[in-house]
Amino acid sequence: MHHPNKTAHAVIESPEFKRLVSKRWSVSLLLTITILVIYIGFLLVVAFDKELLATKIGSYLPLALPIGFGIIVTAWLLTGIYVFWANNTYDTEVQEIKNKINAN
Amino acid sequence: MLTSSLLLQASALPAASTLGTANPVSIIMFFLFVLITLYITYWAAKKTKTGSEFYAAGRNISGFQNGLALAGDYMSAASFLGIAGMVATKGYDGLIYSIGFLVGWPLIMFLIAEPLRNLGKYTFADVVAYRLQQRPIRIVSSVGSLLTIAFYLIAQMVGAGGLIKTLFGLQYELAVVVVGCVMTAYVLFGGMLATTWVQIIKAVLLLSGATVLVILSLATFNFSPANLFQSVADKYGEAMLSPGGFITNPFDALSLGLALMLGTAGLPHILMRFYTVPDAKAARKSVFVATGFIGYFYILTFFIGFSAMVLVGKPIIEGIDKGGNMAALLLAEQTGGTAFLGFIAAVAFATILAVVAGLTLSGASSISHDLYVHVFQKGVSNEKGEMKVAKRATVALGILSIVLGLVFKGQNVAFMVGLAFSIAASANFPALLMSIIWKKFTTQGAVWSIATGATLSLVLIVLSPTIWVDILQNSEAIFPLKNPALVSMSAAFLTGIVVSLVNPEPEAAEKFESEKLRTYLGIGAE
């Protein structure tokens, strides 16, 4: 049977495609784990060691404030890193594979 | 010391008194908002004929616009007034909530945004059902969607009625009816295009209003956040600036954190927005833009809360509303006078309208696209018939939301928001994620996973301290955690995995190849 699934199978089994998928998940999972560790770590510190977050930096500012803002900003920066990677590396590779499929 | 704080209170009291009376500025501002958005609806109505136009705005929204609209969908009045109020009355603990609401966004980006855009058509059930059997998946996932939407909608409607009563002195019932009718008009006539522009305008108004409010407040402290925090510490103690009693049990913390974080990635009205953009690249950009705006907004809310605590004072804020929900509005009046209060009040009202419109649209899509087409019509889509059902569903949901708003009058709505997030995190998110990444996922696995997540969320929240103790007045909760997500979500994942492994579906595994091609390369994406 000559059916588009045959090409789909060939593409999926190709080393380029496999590399693309595994690279995509390495980046995604690395970033996912980073944000989970940051947030869950923060919650655990809140639950177990409130004093640590109440530690003063300077004359009155507790550590909790810059950490809180820092997590918000970091979350945003991580999405930015992903967009940058995807727009530059991932999309280029996707285009290469697509060109190859069209050429066949 | 005592006299100075008394003086401060005395000077603040008369200012607070305009709340609850009809403020001409807010009424004019609000009518202006409604007129402009209805005009947009009229314009959008002419462009909204096909299903793709009704559900997905013809996939013509740009990444930046969709980012703003996503932010608009997400920044509800509950997060604006609720978090500012929480910070104003409880201090730093309010920030823990907003961080939880924000950190779900990176996960949407890393795990589901692109596959969702590449695989789906109008609803997230499209993705789950992609290689599984349509009927059972469509039925359970629309139950998951509709439950999430219903609880979120009740919370918004009840909040709207109460808010408008406090703001305009308008009757609760009248307020609920007005909100229900205007949002039905947006969705019914303008579909996703009108809803998107309502969200964009609302997001811009909310972000600029909150920015001006922070600037006016910081002016009192010589534009120095340090002075603001110093005043908080001087007036209410240093403990206000760091975590307090909000989180004591680590499991409770983790459970709430997971619900807030992963619930975002399971909210049907948020997921639906990914179909309004042309491709995966634009979907990525929207998440980046949305995360930026939402993060900025939460940082602003934090300053608003602390400024209100110092400038308006905790006793006055808590005197008007125990939960502190009026803190931002009292601060607006204090710093910008009655006219500015009117502006912020109108923005808060507009915010509710926009959020309920987004919820209603996603509910209507689930009924017409998932249930009507794929369950009753067995997948044979007849565009005209589908649109008719979508519009009837919109009217029905409009009426239902008014009725629910009236029935639940005076109820505590915080747990309903918690429940909506918990169902989204437990019923919708696990099935969505497993269908994208796991080859061996089966129809039975998905059905059982969704059913387990939804049922456990409902049952456990009834047995939790939130309902069992606080509402039903029992002395001790049967289930110890305030939020069930830790258990219900883990159970949903586990059930999905075990059921899929016990009873494999070779056909689904085989179709995973073509799904994969589309997920990663976007080939064949609509």
Average pLDDT over residues B30-51: 92
pLDDT for the residue B6: 33
CA distance B12 to B9: 5
Q: Could you tell me the pLDDT band of residue A4, with boundaries at 50, 70 and 90?
A: low
Each residue's pLDDT tens digit, B235-252: 998 888 888 876 677 788
Each residue's pLDDT tens digit, B207-219: 999 999 999 999 9
Average pLDDT over residues B314-321: 88
CATH number at residue B302: 1.20.1730.10
pLDDT for the residue A6: 62
CA distance B332 to B322: 18
Each residue's pLDDT tens digit, B221-235: 999 999 999 999 999
Collect all residues with Cβ–Cβ distance below 8 Å to B382 and sequence separation of at least 6.
Answer: none
CA distance B207 to B293: 8
CB atoms within 10 A of CB B39: 11
ipTM of the complex, rounded to two decimals: 0.92
Domain residues for the domain of B344 are: 49-414
CA distance B313 to B7: 11
3-state DSSP call for residue B354? helix
CA distance B113 to B271: 8
Which candidate, B340, B309, B293, B400, places its Cα nearest to that of B94?
Answer: B309
Report which secondary-structure segment, H or E, holds B407.
Answer: helix B383-407
**CA distance, residue A104 to nearest chain B CA (Å):** 15
Decide: A102 and B279 in contact? Cβ < 8 Å: no
| The three-state (H, E, C) secondary structure of A34-57, written as one string | HHHHHHHHHHHHHHHCHHHHHCEE
CA distance A48 to B330: 35
| Total domain count, chain A | 1
- Unique residue bearing structure tokens 């499209």: B126
Which residues does chain B have within 8 Å of residue A48's beta carbon, measured at their own beta carbons?
Answer: 250
Q: Could you tell me the pLDDT band of residue B410, with boundaries at 50, 70 and 90?
A: confident
**Measured between alpha carbons, how far apart are the two ends of chain A, in Å?**
18
Q: Is residue A4 part of a domain?
A: no
| Beta-carbon separation of A75 and B522 below 8 A | no
- Unique residue bearing structure tokens 């309903």: B416
Q: Is residue A96 part of a domain?
A: yes
Q: What are phi and psi of B230, to 5 degrees?
A: -60, -45
Closest residue in B to A93 (Cα) is: B521
Q: For chain B, positions 66-95, list CB contacts with chain A under 8 A.
A: 92, 95
pLDDT for the residue B13: 42
Where are the alpha helices (H) located in B47-92, listed in sequence order? Answer: 51-56, 63-74, 77, 83-90
Domain residues for the domain of A84 are: 14-103
pLDDT for the residue A53: 87
Mean pLDDT lowest for which of B201-205, B206-210, B315-319, B498-502? B315-319
Highest mean pLDDT, choosing among B109-123, B317-331, B460-474: B109-123
DSSP B272: G
Does residue B14 carry a pLDDT above 90? no
| Total domain count, chain B | 1
Task: Report the residue count for chain B.
Answer: 526
Average pLDDT over residues B363-388: 89
**CA distance, residue B235 to nearest chain A CA (Å):** 13
Strands (E), A1-104: 56-57, 61-62
CA distance B298 to B206: 12
Does residue A28 carry a pLDDT above 50? yes
pLDDT for the residue A93: 92
pLDDT for the residue B11: 39
- Unique residue bearing structure tokens 């497993």: B434
DSSP B321: -
Q: Is residue A36 part of a domain?
A: yes
Collect all residues with Cβ–Cβ distance below 8 Å to B110 and sequence separation of at least 6.
Answer: A27, A28, A29, A31, A32, A35, A82
Average pLDDT over residues A48-65: 84
CA distance B279 to B299: 31
Q: Is residue A3 part of a domain?
A: no
B481 touches chain A (CB under 8 A): no
Which residue in B106, B242, B521 is closest to A50 by CB distance? B242
CA distance B289 to B71: 8
Does residue B23 carry a pLDDT above 80? no
Does residue B409 carry a pLDDT above 50? yes
CA distance B459 to B463: 6
| Beta-carbon separation of B261 and A39 below 8 A | yes
